[in-house]
Amino acid sequence: MDEKELHIGEHQEQDEQNPVARELHTEEFLVNMGPQHPSTHGVCRLLLTMDGEVIVKVEPYIGYLHRAIEKICENRIYNQITPFMDRFEYVSSMLADWVYALCVERIGQIEVSPRAEYLRVIFGELQRIASHLIYWGVFAMDLGAVTPFLYGLREREMIMDLFEETCGQRLTYNYIRIGGVSQDINPGFEQKCKKFTSYMCQVLEDYETLLNENPIFLSRTKNIGVAPPELSVAYGVSGPSLRASGVNWDIRKDDPYGYYEKFEFEIPQGKNYDTWDRYQARVIEMRESCKIIEQALDGLPEGDPTFKMRASFKLPEGEYYARIESSRGEMGCYIVSKGEKKPYRLKLRGSSFNNLMIIPEISKGLKIADLVAIFASYDIIMPEVDR
Amino acid sequence: MGVASKIPVYLEKAPGGGILVTSIDKILNWSRASSLWYMLFGTACCAIEMMCTGASRYDFDRLGMIFRASPRQSDLMFVAGTITHKMASRVKILYEQMAEPRYVIAMGGCAVRGGPFYYDSYAVLKGIDKVIPVDVYIPGCPPRPESLMEGCLKLREKIRKEKMADWSSDSAK
Amino acid sequence: MQNEQLVSQLVEKFGAQAEKVELNPAQPALVVDKSILVEFLKQIKEDENFKIDYLSCISAVDYLENGMEMNYHLCSIELRYKLTVKVKLDREKPEVPTIREIHPGADWHEREAWELFGIDIKGHPNLKTLLLPEDWKDGWPMRRDWEGNDDFVKMPEF
C-alpha cells in the first residue's frame, strides 16, 4: 500500500478539487467524546467541532478526576504523603514516589545509600517497562487490535510478581521512600529479574513482528498527527513524545538524578514526528530499560537500602522543584517547606497535563479515528492531568 | 441434550420425556448471572486492576463477563475508582442509560466511602451510594483481581436469589 | 556555564529589575517585577546566551500576609539551564500578565492558578473553570485561609 495515498492533506485537496464537495454547504456540529469513552483513557471529555467527518476544533474538558491531592498533602506529614503520590500517577507509581522522595531529599540534604539508589533505578526502569506495556496494548486496542492488549498485560503481570514479592503491592507500591526504599530485595530477586529482562528482549521482537508490518497499523499511524519540534517545545511536551518530535531531551541524561550517570543507554529520536514515531520511541525505550536494569543488577552494591528516621520530622526551610523522567515525560514536584512537619505547599506537575494541551493543535483537519490514534499515542492518563 | 443436561439444578424432567419444567425465576436468574457483561468504565487506579482482571492471567471471560464500551449493552457497572463531584452527575446518567436489570459494584475504598481522599478534599464524593444504588462493595485500595472476582461471585449469588416480583416492582417505582 | 554564572549574568543584564534569591544551590531563582515579566521571559528565550525556551511548570503559592507568589520553572533544552522566575503579588488584588504568547504551554497552568488561587491572569482569553465543577461557588480552594464548604471534612489531629 502506498503510504502517500493515506496522507490526510491529500484528502482535503481532493475535496477542494471536487466541485460537488466545494458547493455543498455543510453545517458544523458538535460531538461529545467522553467523559466515559473507552479511548479517552479515563475520564477526559473532548468536545469536537466537526465539519462532516473532519475535525475543525478540539476542546478538552478536564477535571473529572480532580481529587485535590495538593490540598490534602498540605495537611499531611511528610511520610504520609508517599501513598498519595502512588495515586497521583498510578500507572507508574514507583516513579511518582521517586520524584517526591527526591524533592524532600534535596531540601533536607538527605544522603541516600548507594544500594538504595541502585534499587530505585532497577524498580524505576521495571515500572517504565510496565507502563509502556500498558501503553503498547492499549494503543493497539484503540486502533482495533485486541490481541496486543492480552500480550502486553501478560508480560506486565510478570513485573507485578517482582514488585509484589518485594513490597507486597500490585499497583500502589509505597516502595521508594524518603531517604531510601522501604525494604531490601529478597534473595533470588536478581536471578528472577535477569530472567525477566532476557525474556522481555525476546518478546519485544515478537511485538515488533506483530505490529510493525501490519498495513492497517501503519496506515493509521504514519504521517498522522505530526508535531514539529518547535511546537512540542512551546507546548511543554516531554518524555518519549518530545523525543519522537526529534528533540534530544531526556532528564535522565540532561539533568541527572539518582545514579543514572553511571549507566549506558541510548535515547531514541523520531524523524517524522508522527504517531508512528511516538509509538516506536516507547518500544525502543523498553529495550533500553532492559539494558539499564541488567547493568544495575550487575553493579548492585552491598549495604542497607533503608533509611531510619522518625515518623514525623521537621524538614528544614527551603523550596525545590524536583523533576524526573517518568514513563510519560517530565514529572515534577515543587515543595515549599517552612521548617514544619507538613509541607507549606506542594505542587505536582504531570507530564500528561502539557501533553494533552498540544492535541487540539495537531489534530485539526483530521478524522475522529485519527484523533483516537493521536490521543492514545501521547499516552495520556487522567490522574496526572487532574491530580 | 446439550445445555439442559448440564444444569439439572434448574430444570426438572417431566415423566414421559420431551418436557422440561423450571420456574421462570430460576431460568432467568441463571441466564442473567451467567453472562454479566460489564461496562468499560474506570475512573482511577482501580481501573488498572479491572483491566488486569479482564486480561490474560485472571481472565474474566471464564465467568461469562465480557466488557462492553456502551452502557446500553451492559448489565453491570464497576465504579472503579474515585468519583468526584464533577463526575458524579455523569455516573448517574450512565447508570440511567443502562437497561434493566442493572447492577453496580463499588470497587475500592474511594467508591465505597471516599477512601484516602475522605479528609481534606473539596472535590471527592464520599461514597458512590449517595448517587446510585450499589449491590456489592469491594474494599481495598485498590482491590486485588482476586477480590474483584470474589465480588462478582457474590453478585451472582445475589442475582440467583432474586424474585421476578421484586425487580418488576422496582422498575415500576 | 554553571547555574550561578547564569544568574549573575541575568542580574547584570537586567539590573535592578531582577533580584537574585538564595534558595538551593542547584536551583537558581530570580525575583522579577510583574510589569517586566513578559519582556523578561521573551528576552531570555530569544537571547543566544540563555535560550530558556521550555516552561516546565507554573506554581502559585499563597503566603497569607506576605502576599502571593507565582513561580515559573523554566529550563533550556539546548543549553541545559534551569531557572525559577518568581513574581510577587499583592494578596488583596493578585494580578499577573499572561505569558501564553511566549510559552503556549502556560495556558492551562495559568487557568489553574486563576481557578484555585484567584490570581487574575491579565490578557488570558479563555479564563474559565478547568478542574473544578462548572457550578463551583465556594471561592478559591487552594488558598491557605479557605475554610471549606459543606462537604469538606478536616482531618482530625492525631
Model pLDDT for residues A335-371, shown as the tens digit of each residue: 988 888 889 989 998 888 888 888 888 888 888 888 8
Instruction: Please give the C-alpha separations between residue A185 and each of A118, B64, C26, in angstroms, as whole numbers.
Output: 11, 39, 32
> Taking the CB of residue C106, how many other CB atoms lie within 10 A of it?
26
Whether A55 and chain B come into contact, CB under 8 Å, resolves to no
In the block, which residue shows the cell 479564563?
C127
Domain ranges within chain C, ordered by starting residue: 3-122
- Cα–Cα distance measured from residue A224 to residue A218, given in angstroms and rounded to the nearest whole number: 10
Q: CB–CB of B126 and C154 under 8 A?
A: no
Across all residues in chain B, what is the average pLDDT? 81
pLDDT at A112 > cutoff 50? yes
- Cα–Cα distance measured from residue C26 to residue C29, given in angstroms and rounded to the nearest whole number: 10
- Cα–Cα distance measured from residue A375 to residue A382, given in angstroms and rounded to the nearest whole number: 12
* Gap between the terminal Cα atoms of chain C: 49
- H or E element, residue A167: helix A147-167
The residue length of chain B stands at 173
Q: Is A176 helix (H, G, I), strand (E, B) or coil?
A: strand
Distance from CA of B120 to the nearest CA of C (A): 5
Residues on chain C touching B118 (C-beta within 8 angstroms):
153
Q: Provide the pLDDT for residue A212.
A: 85
Phi, psi of B120 (to 5 degrees): 65, 10
How would you class A259 by CB atoms within 10 Å of its CB: exposed for 0-12, middle for 13-18, buried for 19 or more?
middle
- Between B22-26, C63-67, C114-118, the lowest mean confidence (pLDDT) is in B22-26
Across B26-165, the runs of DSSP E, i.e. the strands, are 38-39, 67-68, 76-80, 103-107, 136-138
* Mutation to test the A interface, candidates B40, B50, B57, most A Cβ within 10 Å: B57
Within 8 A by CB and 6+ apart from C121, the residues are: C96, C97, C98, C110, C111, C113, C114, C127
- Dig out the grid coordinates for A362 from the structure: 495537531
- Cα–Cα distance measured from residue A154 to residue A148, given in angstroms and rounded to the nearest whole number: 10
Distance from CA of C4 to the nearest CA of A (A): 16
Whether A67 and chain B come into contact, CB under 8 Å, resolves to yes
Mean pLDDT of B45-72: 85
Q: Which residue has the higher pLDDT, B19 or A190?
A: A190
The CA angle B77-B78-B84, to the nearest 5 degrees, is 105
Q: Provide the pLDDT for residue A50.
A: 86
Instruction: Please give the C-alpha separations between residue A281 and each of A95, A197, A234, in angstroms, as whole numbers.
Output: 19, 19, 20
pLDDT at C24 > cutoff 80? no
* Mutation to test the B interface, candidates C153, C155, C158, most B Cβ within 10 Å: C153
Within 8 A by CB and 6+ apart from A381, the residues are: A41, A42, A89, A90, A91, A328, A352
Within 8 A by CB and 6+ apart from C5, the residues are: none
Mean pLDDT of A302-329: 86
Peptide bond into B142 cis (omega under 30): yes
Over residues A14-67, the pLDDT tens digits come to 566 666 666 666 788 888 887 877 777 778 888 888 888 888 888 888 888 888
Whether A122 and chain C come into contact, CB under 8 Å, resolves to no
The closest alpha carbon to B159, from B136, B126, B128, belongs to B136
Over residues C84-117, the pLDDT tens digits come to 888 888 888 888 888 888 888 888 898 888 988 8
* Percent of all residues in chain A with a pLDDT value above 90, rounded to a whole number: 7
Distance from CA of B75 to the nearest CA of C (A): 29
Q: Is A140 helix (H, G, I), strand (E, B) or coil?
A: helix
Across chain A, the runs of DSSP E, i.e. the strands, are 29-33, 45-51, 54-61, 176-177, 180-181, 318-325, 330-337, 345-349
Cross-strand partners of A181: A176
Handedness of CA A238, A243, A248, A253 (dihedral sign): positive
Q: CB–CB of A236 and C23 under 8 A?
A: no
> Taking the CB of residue C2, how many other CB atoms lie within 10 A of it?
10
* Percent of all residues in chain C with a pLDDT value above 70, rounded to a whole number: 89
Complex ipTM more than 0.85, yes or no: yes
Nearest CB to A334: which of C71, C132, C154?
C71
Distance from CA of C131 to the nearest CA of B (A): 9
- Cα–Cα distance measured from residue A57 to residue B42, given in angstroms and rounded to the nearest whole number: 26
Chains with 3 or more CB pairs under 8 A to chain A? B, C
pLDDT at B1 > cutoff 50? no
Mean pLDDT of A253-277: 86
The residue length of chain A stands at 387
Q: Which residue has the higher pLDDT, B164 or B97?
A: B97
Whether A345 and chain C come into contact, CB under 8 Å, resolves to yes
- How many Cβ contacts (< 8 angstroms) between chains A and C? 85
Q: CB–CB of B142 and A65 under 8 A?
A: no
What CATH code would you report for C3-122?
A: 3.30.460.80
Q: CB–CB of A62 and C131 under 8 A?
A: yes
Q: CB–CB of A64 and B43 under 8 A?
A: yes
Q: CB–CB of C57 and A321 under 8 A?
A: yes
Q: Largest Cα–Cα distance of chain B, in whole Å?
A: 70
pLDDT band at A129 (very low <50, low <70, confident <90, very high): very high
Q: CB–CB of A67 and B84 under 8 A?
A: yes
Q: Cβ distance B103 to B159 under 8 Å?
A: yes
- Cα–Cα distance measured from residue A40 to residue A159, given in angstroms and rounded to the nearest whole number: 25
Within 8 A by CB and 6+ apart from C66, the residues are: none
- Cα–Cα distance measured from residue A110 to residue A126, given in angstroms and rounded to the nearest whole number: 25
Distance from CA of B122 to the nearest CA of C (A): 5
Handedness of CA B2, B4, B8, B12 (dihedral sign): negative
pLDDT at A320 > cutoff 50? yes
- Dig out the grid coordinates for C141 from the structure: 480552594
DSSP state of B124: B
Within 8 A by CB and 6+ apart from B19, the residues are: B13
The closest alpha carbon to B111, from B101, B99, B91, belongs to B91
Q: Cβ distance A196 to A129 under 8 Å?
A: no
Nearest CB to B85: which of C133, C154, C155?
C133
Over residues A54-109, the pLDDT tens digits come to 888 888 888 888 888 888 888 888 888 999 988 888 888 899 999 999 999 888 88
Residues on chain B touching A43 (C-beta within 8 angstroms):
43, 87
- Cα–Cα distance measured from residue A159 to residue A80, given in angstroms and rounded to the nearest whole number: 26
**Cross-sheet strand order for the sheet of B103-107:** B67-68, B38-39, B76-80, B103-107, B136-138
- H or E element, residue B166: helix B164-172
Within 8 A by CB and 6+ apart from C27, the residues are: A320, A321, C3, C82, C84
Chain C positions touching chain B (beta carbons under 8 Å) = 131-134, 138, 141, 148-149, 151-155
Across all residues in chain C, what is the average pLDDT? 82
* Percent of all residues in chain B with a pLDDT value above 70, rounded to a whole number: 83
pLDDT at A204 > cutoff 50? yes
- Cα–Cα distance measured from residue A371 to residue A34, given in angstroms and rounded to the nearest whole number: 13
pLDDT at C122 > cutoff 50? yes
Phi, psi of A57 (to 5 degrees): -150, 140
Q: Give the chain C residue whose CA is nearest to the CA of B126.
A: C151
In the block, which residue shows the cell 539499564?
A292
Q: Give the chain C residue whose CA is nearest to the CA of B114.
A: C153
Q: In sequence order, what DSSP letters do the residues of chain C get, joined into one string?
A: --HHHHHHHHHHHHGGGEEEEEEETTEEEEEE-GGGHHHHHHHHHH-TTT---EEEEEEEEE-GGG-EEEEEEEE-TTT--EEEEEEEE-SSS-EEE--TTT-TTHHHHHHHHHHHH--EEET-TT---SSS-TT--S--TTSTT----TT--PPPP-
Distance from CA of A387 to the nearest CA of B (A): 11
pLDDT at A8 > cutoff 50? no
- Dig out the grid coordinates for A134 from the structure: 500498558
Q: Is A144 helix (H, G, I), strand (E, B) or coil?
A: coil
Over residues C31-60, the pLDDT tens digits come to 888 888 888 888 888 877 778 888 888 989
pLDDT band at B29 (very low <50, low <70, confident <90, very high): confident
Q: Provide the pLDDT for residue A259.
A: 85
- H or E element, residue C28: strand C27-32
Q: Give the chain B residue whose CA is nearest to the CA of C149.
A: B122
- Dig out the grid coordinates for B49 from the structure: 486492576
Nearest CB to C57: which of A255, A334, A345?
A334
Q: Provide the pLDDT for residue A386.
A: 86
Q: CB–CB of A332 and C73 under 8 A?
A: yes
- Cα–Cα distance measured from residue A34 to residue A359, given in angstroms and rounded to the nearest whole number: 15
> Which stretches of B57-123 are DSSP H helices?
85-97, 108-113
The residue length of chain C stands at 158
Taking phi first (over 0 means left), then psi (-120 to 50 degrees means alpha), and beta for anything else, what does residue C50 get?
A: alpha
Q: Provide the pLDDT for residue A6.
A: 44
Q: Cβ distance C132 to B86 under 8 Å?
A: yes
